């Protein structure tokens, strides 16, 4: 039994028949495999095999989380490409949840705040979080909290992104500009009422200035 040089905190167990398992110290202690030369029965070997698979899945999930926020559902999809056994994936993710490494609630709150600040409408943020597999109750709480904490004003947010988009689109025929702007704001998740109000303000002001 040796500690893995590439995966600190993981230990490599090599059986007499050549099979190799990489597991946690708790798995070693559970089976007695921490002692060199110990003879393991079939149950202990099966346990180590299962723990090795779960440990590998957990490590891969942690690596994915280190590269960016992920929900449980997103990690499940990623891990399914490597392991078809849903029970093993669930166990790996349950362990990460238990130690606070994986939390859909934290992801939802962070994502909601970030997306609202980027100019997405609350409806769009809710849709995105649900698509990521976040529970509806958590989605509602996260978006409501982000709106409250940041003092989010949907009309002001729609106006801000619309003004920026108009500048990016440049000189366009009024009908073309309106069509493209409506499509852009709809993709951002803003409702027709708010879009209509912003267009009346923005485009009316734009063409009033041009005709002055």
Instruction: State how beta strands 11-14 and 2-3 pair.
Output: antiparallel
Segments of the chain scoring below 50 in pLDDT: 207-212
The answer to whether 48 touches 31, Cβ cutoff 8 Å, is yes
Compute the distance between CA of residue 76 and CA of residue 45 in angstroms, rounded to an integer. Answer: 26
Q: How far apart are CA 177 and CA 86, in angstroms?
A: 49
pLDDT for the residue numbered 2: 76
- What is the C-alpha separation between 122 and 125, in angstroms, rounded? 5
**Domain ranges for the chain:** 2-98, 104-150, 154-211
Question: Domain 2-98 belongs to what architecture?
Answer: Orthogonal Bundle (1.10)
Distance CA 48, CA 26 (A): 11
> What does the pLDDT read at residue 205?
62
Q: What per-residue confidence (pLDDT) applies to 208?
A: 43
According to the model, what pLDDT value does residue 190 have?
97
**What is the C-alpha to C-alpha distance for residues 82 and 70, in angstroms, rounded to an integer?**
17
Integer distance in angstroms from the first to the last C-alpha of the chain?
83
Residue 72: exposure state from Cβ atoms within 10 A (0-12, 13-18, ≥19): buried
φ and ψ at residue 52, rounded to 5 degrees: -65, -40
Q: What are the tens digits of pLDDT across the range 118-153?
A: 999 999 999 999 999 999 999 999 999 999 998 999
pLDDT digits (tens, 9 = 90+) for 8-33: 889 999 898 999 999 999 998 989 88
């Amino acid at each position: 039994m040796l500690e893995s040089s590439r995966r600190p905190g993981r230990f490599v167990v090599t059986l007499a028949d050549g099979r190799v398992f990489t597991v946690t110290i708790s798995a070693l202690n559970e089976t007695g495999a921490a002692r060199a030369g110990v003879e393991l029965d079939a149950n202990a070997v099966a346990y180590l095999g299962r723990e090795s698979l779960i440990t590998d899945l957990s490590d891969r999930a942690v690596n994915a989380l280190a590269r960016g926020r992920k929900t449980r559902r997103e990690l499940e999809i990623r891990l399914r490409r490597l392991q078809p056994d849903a029970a093993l994936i669930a166990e790996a993710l349950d362990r990460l949840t238990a130690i606070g490494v994986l939390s859909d609630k934290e992801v939802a709150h962070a994502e909601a705040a970030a997306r609202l600040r980027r100019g997405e409408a609350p409806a769009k943020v809710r849709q995105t979080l649900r698509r990521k597999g976040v529970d509806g109750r958590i989605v509602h709480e996260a978006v409501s909290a982000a709106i409250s904490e940041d003092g989010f004003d949907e009309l002001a947010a729609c106006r801000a992104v619309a003004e920026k988009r108009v500048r990016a689109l440049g000189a366009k025929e009024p009908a073309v500009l309106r069509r493209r702007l409506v499509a852009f704001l709809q993709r951002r998740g803003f409702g027709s009422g708010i879009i209509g109000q912003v267009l009346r303000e923005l485009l009316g002001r734009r063409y009033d200035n041009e005709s002055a």
